[in-house]
Amino acid sequence: MEFINSIKAFEQAKKSIPGGVNSPVRSFNSVGSNPVFIKKAFGSHIEDIDGNDYIDYVGSWGPMILGHAHPDVIKAVQDTAINGTSYGAPTEIETEMAELIKSMMPSVEVVRMVNSGTEATMSALRLARGYTGRRFIIKFEGCYHGHGDSFLINAGSGALTMGVPNSPGVTEGTANDTLLAKFNDLESVKSLFKKYGDQIAGLIIEPVTGNMGVVVPTRDFIQGVRDVCTQYGALLIFDEVMTGFRLAKGGAQEILGITPDITTMGKIIGGGLPVGAYGGKREIMEKVAPAGPVYQAGTLSGNPLAMAAGLTTLKLLNDTPDFYNILEAKAEKLVSGLQKAIDELEFPAVINRIGSMFTLFFTDDDKVESFEDVKRCNTELFAKFFDKSLQAGIYLAPSQFEAGFMSIAHTEADIDKTIEASRKAIEELKAEL
Ligand code: KE4
């Protein structure tokens, strides 16, 4: 494959955009190669500006569950745009969207639309603090909730100390209000509650992680987190920006059978346009302005175009018989094919999959169940696998610490080709080990 035009485009972009991209992971820095610039996409495929075609398992980082440029979504956007693109005033489609979200995710009794997952999670934190009158938020090492200051935090010196900034520009004061726990380690949560319990406003978690790669919670862990939040009166915030409407109609909370107090959403509910949302119990959400005192606002929140794309997407997910079983079967076919290659070639790797989300971890361990496990992965080996896959026309997330996404548009031929290309890449890597 040739990447001449993408290489030129990246050099040009770097003159005017920080790092040449509008979101860091797109730079391919984690895999040490030049990013490909995309010209167009349809269904399960994307095409770069050099004319290279790829089977796409990034799907815009989750939103494209129906595949790219779904005709119904495109038509909804076109039909809406001819009547204007934004009014900054209430529209009935926003109410229709809210009602559909509520019907698909019953823990959400009232929901506010925003413009990104970051806005949703930032707002959820402010709401938790405003509702409880408390200071601290617990998050988990390895979980990502967008770029809000309260989330860009590393663990402090001791397990029970407050966080420290992990980005310039985040103040000590902000960092000190975030406490760090360990995913799948209930004791790390309980010890924070024992020490700070009545000062903890909320705990935010990716109920199934995607941002350290896919890691599934143990039953005892996620139930224990729910129970300890209830015990201390802290709000449990499920960050379902990635898992919402992805893992099931009702997201991870439906699969796990856990009811959070607040849920944050994004990605799929925008159908590819900028949308986020946060919602939950009426008693909590009615603290949000103008119903209540917790301020949050947005010029383009609930704008008609994004609502049209998102509502059309959610309706298709909600109304297509057996959608999630069909989607999961595609993911299972891919992963079992990859697993067969790993087993037969005796290659050091572990695959985690739940629903249509999966991650191939390059590790000597026989399981990946925690951030500690994830940190032992061989990112150099991943980078080589990524590059071989890209050359073979398979577009994976350019980082070991991300999730892959199957769409309903991926065909049997796509999956067979992916398995074949991956087996070949693994064979070549095995020879280099
Ligand atoms: P956005 O602000 O990027 O819309 O959403 C932030 C966010 C919040 N919560 C979860 C669980 C998320 O996965 C995200 C964003 N996910 C990343 C992918 N790991 C977006 C890709 C990017 O940063 O460019």
- In 3D space, the residue among 357, 380, 346 whose CA is nearest the CA of residue 248 turns out to be 357
Instruction: Report pLDDT for 158.
Output: 66
Ligand 1 mean position, distance from CA 430 (Å):
33
Helices (H), 65-204: 71-81, 92-104, 117-132, 172-176, 186-196
Q: Which residue, judged by its Cα, is nearest atom 20 of ligand 1?
A: 61
211 lines ligand 1 (CB under 6 A): yes
Instruction: Report pLDDT for 155.
Output: 73
The 10s digit of each residue's pLDDT in 70-84 is 999 999 999 999 999
61 lines ligand 1 (CB under 6 A): yes
The 10s digit of each residue's pLDDT in 253-272 is 999 999 999 999 999 999 99
Mean pLDDT over each residue of the chain, to the nearest integer: 97
210 lines ligand 1 (CB under 6 A): yes
Atom of ligand 1 nearest to the CA of 26: 24
Atom of ligand 1 nearest to the CA of 266: 4
pTM: 0.98
Q: Is 4-69+321-432 CATH 1.10.357.10?
A: no
251 lines ligand 1 (CB under 6 A): no
CA triplet 364, 368, 374: central angle to 5 degrees?
A: 80
71-319: what CATH class?
Answer: alpha beta
125 lines ligand 1 (CB under 6 A): no
The 10s digit of each residue's pLDDT in 320-331 is 999 999 999 999
The 10s digit of each residue's pLDDT in 127-144 is 999 999 999 999 999 999
Which residues of the chain register pLDDT less than 50?
A: none
In percent, how much of the chain has pLDDT > 90? 97
Ligand 1 mean position, distance from CA 118 (Å):
7
121 lines ligand 1 (CB under 6 A): yes
239 lines ligand 1 (CB under 6 A): yes
Ligand 1 mean position, distance from CA 59 (Å):
13
260 lines ligand 1 (CB under 6 A): no
Distances (CA, A) of 327 to 117, 130, 167, 318, 379: 24, 39, 37, 13, 29
Ligand 1 mean position, distance from CA 62 (Å):
9
Atom of ligand 1 nearest to the CA of 209: 11
Atom of ligand 1 nearest to the CA of 274: 4
Helices (H), 183-244: 186-196, 219-232
Atom of ligand 1 nearest to the CA of 119: 2
Domain with CATH 3.90.1150.10 in the chain: 4-69+321-432
Q: Is 43 helix (H, G, I), strand (E, B) or coil?
A: strand
Ligand 1 mean position, distance from CA 146 (Å):
5
DSSP letters for 389-419: HHHTTEE--SSTTS-EE--TT--HHHHHHHH
DSSP state for residue 36 in the 8-state scheme: P
Domain with CATH 3.40.640.10 in the chain: 71-319
Q: Which residue, judged by its Cα, is nearest atom 7 of ligand 1?
A: 146
* Catalytic machinery residues: 144, 239, 267
